[in-house]
Amino acid sequence: MTFFTKESAKFWRALAKNNSKDWFDANRKDYEKHLKAPYNALAEALVDQVKEVEPEYQIGPKQATYRINRDVRFSKDKTPYKTELGITVGRNHKHDPAYPAYTVRIGVNGLAVAGGLYMPEPELRDHVRRYVAANHKALAKVEAPKTTFAKVFGSVGGEAHKRAPAELKEAAEIEPRVLNKQWVYWADFNDKKLFTDPKLDQFILDQWEAARPVMEFLKKAVVV
């Protein structure tokens, strides 16, 4: 199935050069046809196919998408519209902090595919830290250099505290990621042809599938 087309790319490049409400309103029909419709169709395809393999992900396509309008309240950049859009497949909604999620950022110049456990609440974060400490060998196994995950994403990363609590100090010397606030992975694919590839959904799903051993590790980690 074809999602985005040359007309989609043309619209988005024009928006980047004319990023104003007046221009957008004048070209809204093109937005609806060439960008919004295929974006929603891609979200539906991704959500449906993830759910088929991992039925715990019960999010709907509309819940997985983002508005094209930027939140400019706290930004120096006051341009009103995004020139990249994301799709996030969480368990029940995009920003479920208690469960790992898959995500992708889409633009005319390529994709960024990512996932993981983003911002768990402190109680769950500390639980996951203890799990990582106790299961660091299992984490090393699912991201070992020869795995597809490592070839695509490298390793699991994320923001971390610099100082270890007393209970984790020894474990942190063996596995520093017990100090993480989040456990995430990310890969950029800077290929302009991907945007209009009729198999775009399958390309994204293939990368998420490469990450699934890590996601299964994180799913086990969040069970309290």
- Evaluate whether residue 190 is within a structural domain: yes
Instruction: Give 109-154 pLDDT, tens digit per residue.
Output: 999 999 999 999 999 999 999 999 999 999 999 999 999 999 999 9
- Evaluate whether residue 1 is within a structural domain: no
pLDDT at 105 over 90: yes
**CA–CA separation, 63 and 51 (whole Å):** 14
pTM score of the predicted model: 0.94
Q: Which pair of tokens denotes residue 179?
A: 């100090």
Distance (Å) of CA 103 to CA 39, 98, 116, 131, 184: 14, 15, 9, 24, 11
CA angle 150, 53, 214 (to 5 degrees): 25
- Evaluate whether residue 59 is within a structural domain: yes
93: CATH: 3.30.930
Instruction: Give 19-33 pLDDT, tens digit per residue.
Output: 999 999 999 999 999
Among 139, 166, 112, CA closest to 221 = 139
- Evaluate whether residue 21 is within a structural domain: yes
Mean pLDDT of the chain: 94
- Residue-number span of the structural domain to which 13 is assigned: 6-221
Instruction: Give 34-56 pLDDT, tens digit per residue.
Output: 999 999 999 999 999 999 999 99
How many structural domains does the chain have?
1
Q: Are strands 110-117 and 183-189 parallel, antiparallel or unpaired?
A: antiparallel
Rg (CA), the chain: 19
**CA–CA separation, 112 and 75 (whole Å):** 22
pLDDT at 223 over 70: yes
At 123 the pLDDT is 94
Q: Which pair of tokens denotes residue 206?
A: 């293939």
**CA–CA separation, 162 and 173 (whole Å):** 12
- Tell me the pLDDT band of 224, cut-offs 50, 70 and 90: low
